[in-house]
Structure 1
Amino acid sequence: MSDKANTPEQESNLAPHVPESVDTATGSARRRMLKKGVGLAPIVLTLASRPVLAWHCKSPSAWGSEQLDPTTSLMTNAGHDSYVDETWTIDNWKNNTARAGLGKPWAKLGFSDNEKDKDKYWKKAKMSAIQGKGLVLPPGVKTDAKVVDFLSRDSTLFQRTIVVAQLNAYLLPSISRCISLQTLKTMASGSYSPPHLASVVWSQSDIVQYLQNNWIATP
């Protein structure tokens, strides 16, 4: 075996290849680590273990505790559960568009894309149809309003977020691992106290923050 030192060109050829698409600064730092044999395993494991469509959620209790104490160990946890799954957004419901293999939300709710199906055409559906599924409408919502109008303009951020959160939970069983449909119905009143945090009362904006940050219902 030769003990002659490699030239810079030879050392460059021995280093693992880093794709050109990597950001310049990040790529340069990563190449330096790879040449030194540092950090390779953690980088590979991180990239390989993250599901492409994963969403994370925490229960209201865990989320509430985290907000009260940012130093809690819960902060180091991406979520109590991670699922290779998705939820429909408010925009998906407003336009009846599919998401991540879930199909169209209104079709899953039993409504049609065909205008001739007058009683079942999704654009004609009224808020009373949502209520008829056993879901709770937030205060101030008229039952004879069309759902598409409600989601487009005739609602507050809280109102449309809590309605879509309930619709998602009604159709997607995996959400129950984060929050129950019954809890979402309770939140529809506009205030909520997480279990074990009776002295804490969430406002409408707090509820929206929880639902959006935990992927229960996003814009």
Structure 2
Amino acid sequence: MNYVFEFSAVFEAWDELLAGLIRTVWLSAAAMAIGLVVAVLGALAKTGGPKPLRWVIDAYIELIRNTPFLIQLFVIFFGLPAIGLRLEADQASLLALVVNVGAYGIEIIRAGIESIHHGQIEAGRALGMRPLQIFRLIVLKPALQAIYPSLTSQFILLMLNSSVCSAIAASELTGAANDIQARTFRSFEVYFVVTALYLALSVMFWGIFAWIERAFLRQPEPR
């Protein structure tokens, strides 16, 4: 083995990697937040909306879950300009991530909503609670507690899927790595460092999700 490992070329371009890292965090966090709203609204409509709306949501879920994310990204970035809607690479990436995670999130949250016993909802009505209060306090929070591990796992996959957005030259971490590799030809070193950065991002997001669970979702300790 005559290959000589040389990481100096990678670390000389650290500012590019850092910019890509920040962009990945921004894309992922924004897609998680917007995707969660889409998932909650979609799950609410699917469990209690009119049939035509449920059919539309079912079609959306099946379409997204049974097609590759890369194709969804290409349709948004290359296909939408055909109907007059042109998006920048980062904008198309964010939209594609939201559309993708929203479909998976709807099914995850729907399962959580349907796990809530109907008697609890009736009890809320008997207490004079408004529909929004019932949904927020009786349905949504216990449902999120039940499906939180699955939902956060999907969010981590979303963050890792953001690497695919480099295919349309989005300015995220993998895109920055590709640029550095093309300039330095240090493939192993570049992608070894990027692998470590993605691992660090995953650990960071897991830590944030664990804090959110402790702060807002964990059941109080019995006395």
**Normalised by the size of structure 1, how large is the TM-score?**
0.29
Q: Which has the larger radius of gyration?
A: 1
Structure with the bigger RCO (C-alpha within 8 Å, sep 6+) is: 2
